[in-house]
């Protein structure tokens, strides 16, 4: 099993480079050379310790990879549709990756933007954090039936799985904090009536009645509460910067796609309508 794993690791790690005539050959397989550059690249990509034993093990993997490749070629798999499709996909992926790198210019994230984001997040926090589990039901009778089952002692997760519908954040106990008294648009994505109810519930209690929200009904349980611990700016700065940089990359990517779409003929036009917003 270890040899199989090393062969698979070598296959995944190696990107075949072009070789000069002077490149050092470290092994041959039926006359096909394996170069030191291949071995170096595989070691780096795999993150293996660069030791003589590690290199020997990786070389075994490269030899196994080449043996399998030659056997596959003898069976004519290089002409198979599966391989041709994989080659086309690899070509498209490489072209797209290079084009995106050359034609997107994300705006740099400034220290002022990081600080502004930190202040905005902190301003939305309240004195308490609430750990809440929620389930979303299709209609009020179903929601009341779920509450009845919960009142009879059935596990929250079981009832949610059997009667709830898929909704973001459902069936996962999560911590939220919001300014109190809760106001619309400042509840960390919770329906306002639910946020208001959380402040009155005791740990372990459920909402006494289903809460109407966006045409559905929500049942929730307060799992825990604690005073809000606000992280220091220095402690949060790195993660906030990374999140802002990721957003800038996404924005730059979508701007590039929209520029290309504006010059293209796309049918139906609605395909790109949502992405442009």
**Better pLDDT: 273 or 223:** 223
Q: Which CATH architecture has domain 126-227?
A: Roll (3.10)
pLDDT, position 1 = 47
Does position 229 have pLDDT exceeding 60, yes or no? yes
Q: How much is the CA Rg of the chain, to the nearest whole Å?
A: 28
Q: For the whole model, what pTM was predicted?
A: 0.68
Among 129, 159, 154, CA closest to 219: 159
Query: Sheet holding 174-176: strands in order across?
Result: 174-176, 128-137, 216-227, 211-213
Res 13: pLDDT = 56
Q: pLDDT tens for residues 22-51?
A: 589 999 999 999 999 989 988 988 887 889
Both tokens assigned to 205: 């209690």
Inter-residue contact 57 to 13 (CB < 8 Å): no
Pick the most confident of 42-56, 192-206, 260-274. Answer: 192-206
Contacts of 206 (CB under 8 A, 6+ apart): 147, 150, 156, 219, 220, 221, 222
Q: What angle do CA 133, 137, 141 make, to 5 degrees?
A: 125
Helices (H), the chain: 2-13, 36-46, 52-74, 81-103, 111-123, 140-151, 156-163, 192-198, 233-262
Question: What residue spans define the domains of the chain?
Answer: 2-82, 126-227
Distance separating alpha carbons of residues 184 and 193, to the nearest angstrom? 9
Average pLDDT over residues 248-262: 94
Per-residue pLDDT of 164-173, as tens digits, reads 887 777 777 8
CB 233 within 8 A of CB 115: yes
Contact assessment for residue 196 and residue 181, using Cβ atoms and an 8 Å cutoff: yes
């Amino acid at each position: 099993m270890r040899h199989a794993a090393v062969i698979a690791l070598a296959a995944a790690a190696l990107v075949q480079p072009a070789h000069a005539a002077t490149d050092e050959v470290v092994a041959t397989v039926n006359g096909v050379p394996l170069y030191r550059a291949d071995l170096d690249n595989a070691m780096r990509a795999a993150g293996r310790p660069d030791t003589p034993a590690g290199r020997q093990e990786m070389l075994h993997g490269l030899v196994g990879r080449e043996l399998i490749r030659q056997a596959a070629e003898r069976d004519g798999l290089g002409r198979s549709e599966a391989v041709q499709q994989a080659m086309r996909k690899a070509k498209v992926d490489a072209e797209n990756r290079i084009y995106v790198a050359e034609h997107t210019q994300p705006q740099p994230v400034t220290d002022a933007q990081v600080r502004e984001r930190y202040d905005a997040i902190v301003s939305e926090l309240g004195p308490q954090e609430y750990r809440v589990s929620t389930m979303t039901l299709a209609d009020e009778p179903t929601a009341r039936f779920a509450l009845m089952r919960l009142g009879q002692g059935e596990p929250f997760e079981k009832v949610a799985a059997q009667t709830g519908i898929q909704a973001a954040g459902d069936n996962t106990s999560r911590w939220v904090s919001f300014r109190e008294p809760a106001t619309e648009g400042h509840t960390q994505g919770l329906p306002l009536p639910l946020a208001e109810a959380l402040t009155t519930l005791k740990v372990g209690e459920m909402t006494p009645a289903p809460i109407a929200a966006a045409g559905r009904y929500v049942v929730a349980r307060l799992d825990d509460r604690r005073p809000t611990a606000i992280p220091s700016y220095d402690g949060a700065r790195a993660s906030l910067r990374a999140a802002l940089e990721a957003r800038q990359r996404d924005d730059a990517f979508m701007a590039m796609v929209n520029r290309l779409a504006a010059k293209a003929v796309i049918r139906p036009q609605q395909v790109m309508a949502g992405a442009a917003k």
